[in-house]
Amino acid sequence: MIGELYSTVMAQTSASKPYLRSKGQVLSYGDVDATVRKLTSVFQDRDLREGDYVFLNVKDDSQVAVICLACIVNGLAAVVTDPAMPSLNGLLELVKPKLTFVDRDKLETVALEPDLHVIPVDEPRRKTRSVFKKLLKKEGKSEAQADDLDAFPSLLDKTLPFGDDFPVAHPQTTALVLFTSGTTSEPKGVELTQNNIAVQMRILLRQFRFDDRAEVFNILPLHHTDGIINGLMLTLFAGGTLHRPGQFTIHDLPNSLDYIFREGISHLITVPTVLALIQRLGEDFTDVFQSGDFKVLVSSAGALSPDLWQSFEERFRTRVSNCYGLTETVTLFTCSGPDDESYEIGTVGKPIDSEIRVVDDAGLDVTAGGAGEILVRSELVMKGYINNPQATAAAIKDGWFYTGDIGRINKDGKIEIRGRKKSIIIRGGINIHPEEITDAVLEHEAVIYAAVFGEPDDTWGETAVLCIVEDPAVSLSDQELQAFLESRLANEKMPAEFHRFADFPRGPAGKVVLAELREQVALRRQSRRFSHEGGPLEVALDIAATMLKLPREALSRSSSAESVSGWDSLFHLNFIMAVEETYSIQFQPREIMTIQTLGDLVDLAQSYRKSNKAAR
């Protein structure tokens, strides 16, 4: 199936047309096809058959693109994994792939079992000698196994391209395996079929007005469905160009927004976290989507606050399409927008080529407008979890996939997501849905995002902890927040604590990682003791060391994202906010964007403290 679609696109698209622009590299459609056809010969030489698993742990975008496409068009199952994973052995044992592509610098973490055939991956265009062939000989490995360790892409130099039509794979053959970013410590491998992907391509091309003029900006991770499906595959099957210039970061935000305008981007596919970052710091770029080329902005992979949604649209004068789906349903099966019929702020729109049910704990359909677990039946639903029949049977019953999400269908037939089924808090025997609290607090204009979780309590069993992300332009004190919630919630549902964040810790899909949020709250409690124990430098060092879980001596005034592991945009914003809270100050967006190092933050905080003292 996918092989036929691929061949049609290649026949209709100029070989010189750019397919992928990634971090200074340009990969044309001709480049893609030449590499895919040589990799096809590599697969045939190694006697790979339809449905065999090919494991990828590769960080370069262009290499992930061509290897993954080569697998899928040949009826093989591409198992795409996070290149930041410290160890691959657990997943390799689960998948048992016939062939594995691993970045050369990651090989030392892989246990080279006799039946594990590994191709090291070097940086693009880098020629290398097969050092590992010599090492394997010394260890007594066979010559046949040593040949499997010729490096990619240099092994293609001696490979003739496949010249025939690609085989037609069965619709139910696994094409792609992605691992969930859910709440459990054991992620499950989702098997998506040739048909799953073909159906999703048809939906996306129609829903988001994709054609061969599409210029797509999507920097989401390629080991996640919104990156690989809504980016690599959707762009290719539209015959468009995919742009992945780099991550959205605080310091690079102006360049990213300039890029979107300058390069005539037509489609931005992103997550709520990025929209919040643009909303907070992009006040000088309100024309970014007014180039005349821009068509569609898609937010997926996480709940989009109605307040952020509306304020973003008002400031940037563009409609945001809010979509809902899971890895188990490829990417999406509902969407609010961009068409008028499905669009409604606060919802995820209407089902697309899918059936929806909302059921209670007994599996019975709830009454109209009632809340319950969302079930979906569709050609988008996965084949199952790889080598995990028990989990598959629990998730798919009588053809219906149980999403684990709580929602309701409103009077207009649009779906509202209320939260996860497993997140209920039991306080003194009373069930509290965290969404009851988040819905209430999100009614306040100052609150952009809210998250609630339960914590053990000796008296009540559990109590609720509320975390919020605020609009910096709107003032909201703890006392005002308390009074606001008391007017909307019963006493037993009032949160025991409030915590403010610049943003929440999120997984690759953009979903809030509650385990990390709990940890951040614990660190916040600990950091309160810092405020009177020293000057701004000592306080900043203590806060940063605690949040990063590093020894204090590992940090200095010059510490930054470039020098400290774990110093990403999320840490950067929350670190700044912790210092703001400590000294009861609030920096301006332009000032935040100038903070590169710990010392920059200290100097800025010191200047505010002096200004406040002078004012008094």
Mean pLDDT over 492-518 rounds to: 82
* Third-level CATH fold of 520-615: 1.10.1200
- Integer distance in angstroms from the first to the last C-alpha of the chain? 73
- Tell me the pLDDT tens digit for each residue of 87-116: 888 899 999 999 999 999 888 888 877 788
Q: At what angle do helices 569-583 and 514-527 cross, to 10 degrees?
A: 30
- Tell me the pLDDT tens digit for each residue of 3-44: 999 999 999 999 999 999 998 889 999 999 999 999 999 999
- pLDDT reported for residue 613: 54
Distance of alpha carbon 84 from alpha carbon 82, whole angstroms: 5
Identify the CA nearest to 73 among candidates 146, 173, 141: 173
More confident residue, 149 or 449: 449
Domain boundaries defined on the chain? 1-13+28-169, 208-298, 424-512, 520-615
Say whether 485 sits in a helix, a strand or coil: helix
Judged on CB neighbours under 10 Å (0-12, 13-18, 19+), 347 is buried
pTM across the whole model: 0.77
228 DSSP assignment: I
CATH classification code of 424-512: 3.30.300.30
Identify the CA nearest to 214 among candidates 242, 253, 172, 244: 242
- pLDDT reported for residue 612: 64
- pLDDT reported for residue 135: 42
- Tell me the pLDDT tens digit for each residue of 124-179: 864 344 444 444 444 444 333 333 448 999 999 999 999 999 989 999 999 999 99
The yes/no answer on whether domain 208-298 falls in CATH 3.40.50.980 is yes
Q: What is the largest CA-CA distance in the chain?
A: 81
Class level of CATH domain 1-13+28-169 = alpha beta
Same fold, 1-13+28-169 and 208-298: yes
